[in-house]
Structure 1
Amino acid sequence: MNNEMMPQAIEQREIGKLRPNANPLVAHKFGADPYALVYNNRVYLYMTSDKLEYDADEIPQKNSYQSINKITVISSEDLMNWTDHGEIKVAGPEGAATWASQSWAPAAAHRLINGQDRFYLYFANNASGIGVLSAPTPIGPWSDPIGKALVTRATPGVEDVTWLFDPAVLVDDDNQAYLYFGGGVPEGKPQRPDTARVMRLGADMVSVEGSAQVIPAPFMFENSGIHKHQNIYYYTYCSNFFQVERDEDSPPPGEIAYMTSTHPMGPWTYQGTILKNPGHFFGIGGNNHHAIFPLGAQWYIAYHAQTLCQAMDIPEGYRSTHLNLVEYEETSGRIKAIHADYAGVEQLKSLDPFHIVSGSTIGWSAGVNTRELQQNDQTQSREPEPNPLVSQLHAGSWIALSRVDFGKQGAAAFTASLRSLGGAGILELRLGSEDGNLIGSVHIPAAEDSQEWMEGTTSITGAACVHDLYLVLKSAENHPNSNPCILLQQWTFEKA
């Protein structure tokens, strides 16, 4: 079983992300160490692809983190319905960076280079160095522009850094970019490890300039973060867990602390902590990893916690991304204490069902997993950048989309691109819940040897205004034991 085949695909039950909660963001897969990139009013979250590990008897084991060589990407315009874009193959023989063995804790940035959009993904090759990939879109295709690590032990100013990992990137208003990274605690120095670093990136975004400078972060452990708010630069990080005496001005173990400056390279002033360890809020601890970003007029923090792992009752170490609000004190610019919870943030806008929606767009789900299509499996999409991911549903499973706006006139028809992998079934469209008002049904024949994609259609009645929409797969009435299974690539409604 892999990250795209979670146990709920077998159990056919809602788990982890429970309605009406917004956290964790998705429940069909894990995703740790989130980093946010906002582009065209959409936030893309890049996450370490935690994978379930098993022993010889196929029993889940505690996460060792040693086999992670991919980065997961999800995105959203409304912060409730998330599109799964699958995994970036980063490290290893099949990855873009064949020289690397792992890909942990990504960071992403966007720049206009020679008048064209370019996107950059920085990642940690375990704790031994930092690499970079580039792409023409936020979801790829990704390539390695330099064929080697960007930051290594030979980089000026990093000789005393225990862990060369956990990058963060800032592109300032003047287009000068900066890379933040580092972590670890030298022996005997828990109070002032001095292992956090910042250095300039070259104009090409794939080179570094000068020497890395020390960020004197008290009780530094890992997870550099950077953002700029009202001309103040905020360096954020996770404090270490060493059980030593700490005064009231020092960060407690495993919390997100921050420093401020009027310049992206410092000098820095320590300000305090903003987010307690996940164990304080969810009853299961572990490391604390975050990213702070703006969308619209509001600021948010993405962080991970082992809530899905806990709900699945499996060994620890598998993290899921959450969102909560970030607020600032008006006069001082200090960040207010952040409250982490399952409720999460409010949905920013309703979902428009009258444009093509990816089948891997999910608000809540039960018994659903996602999988990547091979190139020859994909249908011709009307989208300029088709998503290579589809959702897989089994009998009894469902996908729910939050706050779908059908308008006052309502919808007249529904069309989906799908493929049958099992017996005959029915894709029911319901409002409000999985057994709510039935507005249409797509009849799906049993799978044939040709394995062709089909255009499933149904007329729609009773869909107007704003509702939660449920796509529910059931066995055909005349084939109660048919065990249907489908791949859902995309869908759309037509206006009445």
Structure 2
Amino acid sequence: MTSPLNQAIGKVPPNGNPLVAHRYGADPYALVFGDRVYLYMTNDALEYDGNGVVKENTYSSINKIAVISSSDLVNWTDHGEIAVAGQEGAAKWATQSWAPAAVHKVIGGKDKFFLYFANNASGIGVLSGDSPLGPWTDPIGEALILRSTPGVEDVTWLFDPAVLVDDDGKGYIYFGGGVPEGQFAEPGTARVMKLGDDMISVEGTAEVIPAPFMFEDAGIHKREGVYYYTYCSNFYDRERPEGSPPAGEIAYMTSSSPMGPWTYHKTILKNPGHFFGVSGNNHHAIFQYHDEWYIAYHAQTLSKAEGIANGYRSTHLGRLSHKEDGSIQNIEADYKGVQQIGCFNPYHRVLAATMGWSAGVKTEFMASAGKRLVTDIDNGDWIGLSGVDFGSTGAGAFSASVICLEGGGNIELHLDDPAGVLVGELSVPAANGPEKVMEFKTEVSGAEGVHDLYLVFKGTTGTGLFKLESWQFME
């Protein structure tokens, strides 16, 4: 008798959205480096009341930034969290880390990476590192932008940064938000400011971006000499003049200069409630990858599927198209997501926290292994990978690095469905001694060509089976 398989929740095959189903992530910002897209996200985490019931997300305890990356835009590797604010974080002066922005610049012949974040709505900080994954340090020991910064004294919310490094190497930071009393149509709270060559200082005075019905969520991208400033409109519920952005939508302005002047055009992405039946704030990032343009945005689809849509958000991807005249076409948010770019190679070592889809599992960083592992593995759980290319010769063996637990169990290898064709089965023994990473191997037969791959975990229900660190097929 086969044991029942657990069901995917939120991200269901073959859909690409939300990007991951084992964790939340809001306010996405994209960094393309090498052959990967890195997405940095506000680390939404469940909050509970005194009775253990999930309550509305207050954002007040969020002091980490979550990071995922992909080379094909469907299978995503979970890199865990960056400890940003608080006593455990790099920026000990800060209390929160919201709405990150990340950028790469070559300085002194070396690749440098900068991660900007909002310390609630009171200021913007910056961390620096030597890779997209850090390690991250606080280079200035204080906020980069505060109310004492020239030109921002009357900005309601000092948050939601976006950063552009122009073709000449000059950096610019876009930020701000909020609606002063009675100023819904022209809040005047969006700003752009020059960054110093070191990317950790600002120059001159912040300039106002006259964004109609501005609320929050700065975005910036450049295409064919045109600068596109994008933002989320406010929720003012009275009648608006014709041509104004509707409530809670992503709108855009353009300029021939990174500092403006700016011309308003229209909105391009409706509120998540229009597409997914659960409304909330609207936050986005636009980026280019392999000559195509994409928009990352968040919605409460995963938490809705879990029955707890109380402000816990998940990142999604969609295609973005510019017309011949440079205008941006309207975007349809959906569960389908974007097309996979290239096949997944199973013959390289794969970090186990790389998933197209999943059911039941979580991930956590294991200091003893120095990596992020797939954990909470129970009988009937599984992870799936999209578009795996086994080649014409096919796979002959499969190996996995695991940490054995008291339960032990099996990893079944299925094609195209968690209950699809079985091409191999790896036995993982129960633990015998202290936790350590061990390698196990098994023969594989029938894995040829391109298929979705499912690693299905079997064992005794209610016991910890094992933790999965990495895996690989051999031809």
TM value normalised by structure 2: 0.97
AA of the residue aligned to 1:470: Y
Deviations 1:392-436 (A, max 9, x none): 122110000001000001111111111122312011111111111
Q: Residue 57 of structure 2 contacts residue 312 of structure 2 at CA under 8 Å; is this kept in 1?
A: yes
Deviations 1:257-276 (A, max 9, x none): 00000000000000010000
Aligned position for 1:347: 340
Q: CA deviation at 1:481?
A: 5.6
Deviations 1:298-322 (A, max 9, x none): 1000000000110000141000000
Distance 1:72 1:53 in 2: 17
Distance 2:292 2:314 in 1: 22
Distance 1:204 1:486 in 2: 46
Deviations 1:213-248 (A, max 9, x none): 000000000000000011110000000001122122
Deviations 1:131-190 (A, max 9, x none): 000111101111100000000011000011000000000000000010000000000100
Distance 2:321 2:181 in 1: 36
Off by >6 Å, runs of 4+ in structure 1: none
Does the alignment pair 1:231 with 2:216? no
Distance 2:294 2:309 in 1: 29
**Taking structure 1 as reference, are residues 12 and 282 closer, same or farther at Cα in structure 2, changes over 3 Å only?**
same
Aligned position for 1:403: 387
Does the alignment pair 1:302 with 2:282? no
Q: Residue 232 of structure 2 contacts residue 283 of structure 2 at CA under 8 Å; is this kept in 1?
A: yes
Q: How many matched pairs?
A: 470
Distance 2:465 2:44 in 1: 26
Aligned position for 1:486: 466
Distance 2:256 2:446 in 1: 56
Distance 2:466 2:49 in 1: 30
Aligned position for 2:453: 469
Does the alignment pair 1:312 with 2:306? yes
Distance 2:138 2:445 in 1: 50
SS of residue paired to 2:275:
helix
Q: Residue 60 of structure 1 contacts residue 315 of structure 1 at CA under 8 Å; is this kept in 2?
A: no
Deviations 1:19-53 (A, max 9, x none): 11000000000000000000012100000000100
Does the alignment pair 1:367 with 2:360? yes
Deviations 1:76-125 (A, max 9, x none): 01000000000000000000000000000000000111111111000000
**Which ranges in structure 1 are unaligned for 5 or more consecutive residues?**
1-10, 379-387
Q: Residue 424 of structure 1 contacts residue 482 of structure 1 at CA under 8 Å; is this kept in 2?
A: no
One of 37, 51, 59 as aligned partner of 1:57: 51
Aligned position for 1:175: 169
One of 295, 318, 329 as aligned partner of 1:324: 318
Distance 1:120 1:370 in 2: 26
SS of residue paired to 2:304:
helix
Q: How does 1:195-210 map to 2 (within 5 A)?
A: 195-210=189-204
One of 424, 427, 433 as aligned partner of 2:408: 424
One of 183, 186, 189 as aligned partner of 2:183: 189
Does the alignment pair 1:391 with 2:383? no
What is the aligned-residue identity percentage?
61
Distance 2:462 2:316 in 1: 37
**Taking structure 1 as reference, are residues 462 and 181 closer, same or farther at Cα in structure 2, changes over 3 Å only?**
same
AA of the residue aligned to 1:320: S
Does the alignment pair 1:217 with 2:201? no
Q: CA deviation at 1:449?
A: 3.0
Q: Residue 134 of structure 1 contacts residue 142 of structure 1 at CA under 8 Å; is this kept in 2?
A: yes
AA of the residue aligned to 1:214: V
AA of the residue aligned to 2:374: S
Q: Residue 118 of structure 2 contacts residue 161 of structure 2 at CA under 8 Å; is this kept in 1?
A: yes
Aligned position for 2:269: 275
CA RMSD of aligned residues (A): 1.1
Distance 1:30 1:248 in 2: 37
Q: Residue 40 of structure 2 contacts residue 100 of structure 2 at CA under 8 Å; is this kept in 1?
A: yes
Q: CA deviation at 1:447?
A: 1.8
One of 427, 451, 468 as aligned partner of 1:443: 427
Distance 1:14 1:235 in 2: 37
SS of residue paired to 1:79:
coil
Q: Residue 179 of structure 1 contacts residue 200 of structure 1 at CA under 8 Å; is this kept in 2?
A: yes
Distance 2:251 2:187 in 1: 14
**Which ranges in structure 2 are unaligned for 5 or more consecutive residues?**
none
Q: CA deviation at 1:12?
A: 3.9
Distance 1:132 1:208 in 2: 11
Q: Residue 422 of structure 1 contacts residue 482 of structure 1 at CA under 8 Å; is this kept in 2?
A: no
TM value normalised by structure 1: 0.93
Aligned position for 1:382: none
SS of residue paired to 1:111:
strand
Distance 2:202 2:411 in 1: 53
